[in-house]
Amino acid sequence: MSKICQITGKKAQRGCNVSHSKHHTKRSFDVNLFSKKFFYVEENCWISLKISAAGLRLINKVGLDAALKQAVSKGYCDWKDIKVLGE
């Protein structure tokens, strides 16, 4: 599974390390990504998501169901990509 947040769609960016002598070397800026379990009340089940810290704040702000619907409509994840636990 790639390093992409399933809620916000954030992914790793490319950039440069710049030394004191201004020498540029390529590097990647990774997302603050982790796996988190949520209880999805609408389906009465536990789900596991790979989300960033910004995605967790969005879920706390608008709710899990609204955040998932928003992510699916924007194309960040699909309903079949959401891992249901305990089946």
- Determine the pLDDT at residue 2: 76
Predicted local confidence at residue 54, as pLDDT: 95
Q: Is the pLDDT of residue 87 over 80?
A: no
Which of helix, strand or coil describes residue 4?
strand
pLDDT in tens, 23-67: 999 999 999 999 999 999 988 999 999 999 999 999 999 999 999
Q: Is residue 1 part of a domain?
A: no
pLDDT for residue 73 = 94
- pLDDT band for 86, please (50, 70, 90 cuts): confident
Domain that holds residue 81: 32-85
- Cβ neighbors of 7 (< 8 A, separation 6 or more) are 49, 51, 52, 55, 58, 59, 67, 68, 71, 76, 77
- Domain assignment present for residue 11? The answer is no
- Look at the chain and report how many structural domains it folds into: 1
- Is position 75 within any domain? yes
pLDDT, mean of residues 2-27? 94
Polymer length of the chain: 87
